[in-house]
Structure 1
């Protein structure tokens, strides 16, 4: 199937439902830019290794590189979302569900951003799709339980592994630098943390960038009577489009999340910010190589918690942690209900 920009634009402008799908997907990528992408550069900005504007540009560049490079190595993350639900070959229903889920993400993420709480758009998408599938089939038979288990695995993996790696990397860093002059090591960790932020942004692109590019292409395929995107090479113009939209989103609204993640939860020094970045990047890399969709938000925030725990548990602001965890837990029923209601609305309209 031709997915050049000219062919894509021709289909979008001639099909209202597809246009709605594309606009909503770009809106989700934009929202992801202000709620999720800032996690990658939060520690780098709050420890004053970089100013916010160049850090945002850095994140945009490495998000793009993450999408393009990891797609060439392993595109399985981009192609897993559709397996969460089964529409029994009804592509029209699948496209309605996709649009309903995208609305759920935007509504949920904007509400969480208003309170400065980072959310996982990946889990919001899965919950929204599931709620829409229930609405369309008036039952739970469209939910693939085996795929949902993978989501739970990914959630646990990103949280537990992020915390453990954050703790261990910070412990190791502290041990190696125990006899060094703090003023001299600050200079090194300032540069090292910029590298760490670049790595985290790269892996964010590999995870979230791939997922939503997969959603963008899936909408086109569903409209053309195909229910799979297996073996499709993601085009460069789409990678660039998603990276630019995500970068604009980060520049518009990323400061709230940067403050929540990098300052409110744990007061970080440069070596701690470096440790959190390396731990989060390692966790995301392992997940991407094995094709497991995980949350950048959960990984980075729990890595910061692990870093804070090295000094003492009381160094972690548990009030902020409680708000974050509660939002993560409520993402599934909240986005599921919104997806359910939007699917009913879209069925009435289209």
Structure 2
């Protein structure tokens, strides 16, 4: 298995945005505002623009039947970094497109290029995100989202076979391995900055998009959202729990399009220059995180891993987060 431990600095800085194609616009508007607490702008009935901070746009929802994430956007420092990345991808035989200005305007960025990973997922790379001219106004009462230099959060893909896709992300894009787990499923986690991971891939036997993680500034934001999510049938995809690798306390909500949003607090900060990858061999969660997407055998294995970790007294610091 490719270990992704290259220390060549990545041109990528953080997860900048995601796009979603859907026909369920009213559901998405209510989900983003009332549960996630995002600021919702609807320039038309079939377009939604979402804010979580001082960026003019962090998520955009467009008309389409896919009911899935259509693009992940990754930020680079400037035009020079974007040109270097385009050349690196092209030299490696990847098809790269410089997107027209109208697409950049829709994405609310200065300039962007696009490419596809080996699984066919559309990736966009950009610089110069537009800053909003008015303060962020949360959709419901909450403390705010943890973004800044860490970016929007993290994105997790599912893959039929990890070996087929990981070298693209590590060798070409420069993602650096944070850690990995082999039970109850294979999962590899990668960082770009001091967020423990901005990207991950889970081997599930199916290629797709698993979840977007957004991090809040208060644990109470998570608990209050959890209460709200319980009011809706089948909204909760993964119960409240705490991860063993990034120490995040979170639950996962099913979006109107079927993929999930992890709603978390308290993720650990790492030092990318000195971080040593490791195998997280006692499961993905200390407690909780009952995963409805797993089959019965894997759910039982995950529970046993949690019980074993508890019996061994495995703990993480109660609060691990730095300011950035």
Higher strand share: 2
Greater relative contact order, per chain length (Cα 8 Å cut-off, separation 6+): 1
Q: Same fold (TM over 0.5)?
A: no
Bigger share in helix: 1
Structure with bigger gyration radius = 1
